[in-house]
Structure 1
Amino acid sequence: MDRRTLLGGVAAGTALLAAPHVVRAQATITLNGASQFNDEHVFTRAMSRFADLVKQYYGRPVNFVMHNNSALGLEKQYFEYMSAGRAVDYAIVSPAHMSTFSRAAPFIDAPFLFRGLDHWNAVLDNDMFSPIAEEIDRRARVKLIGWAGGGVRNIFSSKSASNMAELRGLRIRVQGAPIWSRTFQAVGMAPQVIAYNEVYNAIQNGVIEAGENEAAGVEQMRFFEVGSNLLMTQHAITVRPLCFSTQTFSRLPRELQAAIVQAGKEAGAFGRQTESSEDSQKIAALEAAGRLRRIAFTERPAMQTAVEPVMAAYAREIDAERIFARINAQNA
């Protein structure tokens, strides 16, 4: 090898070391997702749709790696990882896990917030939670790029009830967030906070008479065995944001960023449509199998009216009055 060739090779190697971005630009980008569930769960399917759409809109190779079945922990950990910009780049996470960064985050998933599925869809399609999303992006460095969810929560009970009077005094398990106890008390029930995995035994032993959940939870936890009456109160509809790490996002090419934003919105809509339709199918299947009895609730508007003062006070407490006003004004 002559001296000129040797010097040329050294110069080329030095240039590559001085400009590592050139090497990175040629490498295929890998994005890591996480789910607590298996491939068949609607959350995992929504994230799979997200990956497919990103590839379609970006038009260049991108590797998506899904870590299912809680391989990387639970949703709370996923959010922490995304906030730190490591391990997890995207995941579907309950708003409850965002409250450290935004007092208003749990409002996204509050009971008695929506009048029904049409109202719920209209609120999400019109991006009414964008002020909360902006705060979470700013403070937690996590973007909410899509709105999934769609499980309609009803009351499973050991006793039948079809109106407000028959609900009065019902001992029911509720989630730990104070707004759940406040609203259920306003309706006239006697809410109690009990660990989720203790609900079955608590009803079986007469400690409580009822709980509340979407159809998937009633089926998975076999709550129909101790609470075979499904009171169709439709008191809550789940909202599950599709999240993406802001730190990861900022490092990506602009074309890929645009694809992620577009795909996130569409994948969230897919998740909502899928979960809400499967929710009603699960109820129908359980009823057809004789495992539960669907009880029509005749005073849903009266229930909504009873909780309005409580919801308004809660909105003031967490600085979400404007959002609440817009939601109430939304026609469905």
Structure 2
Amino acid sequence: MLHFSKLMAATFAFGSLMIGVAGAQTVLRSADTHPDGYPTVEAVKYLGELIKERTAGRYSVEVYHSAQLGEEKDTIEQTQTGVIDLNRVSMGPFNGIVPETAVPSLPYMFRSVEHMRHVMDGPIGDEILKAFETHDLVGLAFYDSGARSFYNTKKDITSIADLKGMKFRVIQSDVFVDMVNALGANATPMAYGEVYSALETGVIDGAENNWPSFESAKHYEVAKHYTVDQHQIVPEVLVMSKSSWDRLTPEDQAIVKQAAKDSVVKMRELWDAQEKKSREIVEKAGVKVSEIDKKPLIDAMKPVYDKYLKTPELKDLATRIQATK
């Protein structure tokens, strides 16, 4: 797959180069695994419009959505080597490359979506973006991937005690397993495609995800209780190849960086509209939405943080994120 994706990327690169020669324009290739029309894809298209306008047509962006250039791991490698110019990637795949990205990926690191946006738009976010530079990447901006919450087939969950003993499907991630177990529930790693039938047959009591995924996968048809605990509010990141960045003039670098920041506004507008629409659909279908006091859940994460915040620098970053008002 990697060799194929590199071959495909090289083909796209050659095609883009020819376009650039013919139109006196440099085409920046951008990768995204999400489908066409998805908020992140549309945001990068908007980024391209801004760059084209602000460089008087000298640069444009071509977005290769739907994993056309490979899965995220492959596209990260291609971006590091300069085969791909721009890349929108989930934070998870970067955890083993850029240690600082592991901190925003931890459960209950952010109190709310608003808190996450405030932190990532500020000096802490800039600090994390800067950490990409030693890995042949330039961090440009953070996008949203929604807030993940618990849902289940049994009951309203309004306190940490209600979670005790319940079986929740999680993605195949040690952090997710440790989080659910720390809350007194039982984590069951399972492929996403198996969740609906597992909920329907009682193999699991519940699962967790954001509003659009809960709605689009039709899990709301069998799981009628959704608890807004927002345990995972993990940003996604837009990066540029360091070699592509270095070919820009300082003036064009400033244009690209500002356009990336401006595209965040567009992305959030689209994402918030999608979340609102999905929530309305599931509530209309009879899903009961519950709120929960997050403090006991956050307090229960201490052993999880102790396990994953392995250096004083990462512990300090986590402390500063949580202290941000």
Q: TM-score range by the shorter chain?
A: 0.7 to 0.9
Report SS of the residue matched to 1:238. coil
Aligned with residue 183 of structure 2, among 184, 187, 197: 187
Give 1:1-332 correspondences, 5 Å limit: 27-86=24-83, 88-139=84-135, 141-160=136-155, 161-288=157-284, 290=285, 292-316=286-310, 319-331=313-325
In 2, Cα distance between the equivalents of 1:109 and 1:49? 26
Task: Supply the AA of the counterpart residue of 2:291.
Answer: F
SS at match of 2:278: helix
- Change beyond 3 A, Cα 1:226–1:327: same
What secondary structure does 2:300 align onto? helix
Residue type matched to 2:317 in 1? I
Indicate the larger mover: 199-208 or 39-48.
Answer: 199-208
Query: How far is 1:33 from its partner?
Result: 1.4
Q: SS state of the match for residue 108, structure 1? A: coil
Q: Conserved in 2, the CA contact under 8 Å of 1:203 and 1:210?
A: yes
Identity score, percent: 23
SS of the residue corresponding to residue 63 of structure 1 reads strand
Shift of 1:318: 8.6
Task: Give the whole-Å Cα distance in 2 for the aligned partners of 1:118 and 1:250.
Answer: 34
Residue 93 of structure 1 and its aligned partner are, at CA, apart by: 0.3
In the alignment of these two chains, the number of paired residues is 305
Instruction: Give CA deviations for 1:285-332 in whole Å, capped at 9, x if unaligned.
Output: 2212x1x5133133222212222453254223595112101111101x
Work out which of the two has the higher radius of gyration on C-alpha atoms and give 1 or 2: 1
Equivalent residues of 1:146, 1:266 under 8 A apart: no
Q: 1:266-288 CA distances to partner (integer Å, 9 max, x unpaired)?
A: 21243234313431331122212
Q: Which moved more, 1:74-83 or 1:304-313?
A: 304-313
Question: Residue type of the partner of 1:101?
Answer: I
Please report how far the alpha carbon of residue 38 of structure 1 lies from its aligned counterpart in structure 2 after TM superposition: 3.3
The one-letter code matched in structure 1 to 2:203 is: V
The verdict on how the C-alpha distance between 1:124 and 1:244 changes in structure 2, with shifts beyond 3 A counting, is same
For the structure 1 residues 64 and 74, does the alpha-carbon distance in structure 2 shift closer, same or farther, using more than 3 Å as the test?
same
Query: What's the TM-score, normalizing by structure 2?
Result: 0.86
Q: 1:64 deviation in Å?
A: 1.9
The 10-residue stretch of structure 1 (268-277 or 44-53) with the greater mean CA deviation from structure 2? 268-277
User: SS in structure 1 opposite 2:316?
Assistant: helix
Asked if structure 2 preserves the Cα contact closer than 8 Å seen for 1:93 and 1:242, the reply is yes
Cα distance, 1:55 vs structure 2: 2.2
Mapped partners of 1:101, 1:156: distance in 2: 32
Q: Which sections of structure 1, spanning at least 5 residues, go unmatched?
A: 1-22
- Give, in angstroms, the shift of residue 150 of structure 1: 4.5
* Aligned-residue offset at 1:135: 3.1
Inter-partner Cα distance in structure 2 for 1:37 and 1:146 = 17
Measured on the aligned residues, the alpha-carbon RMSD in Å equals: 2.3
Please list the CA deviations of residues 169-202 of structure 1 after superposition, one character each: whole Å capped at 9, or x if unmatched: 1101122332222222221111122122222222
Change (3 A) 1:206 1:188: same
Structure 2 distance, partners of 1:186, 1:44, is: 35
Q: Which runs of 5+ in 2 are unaligned?
A: 1-19
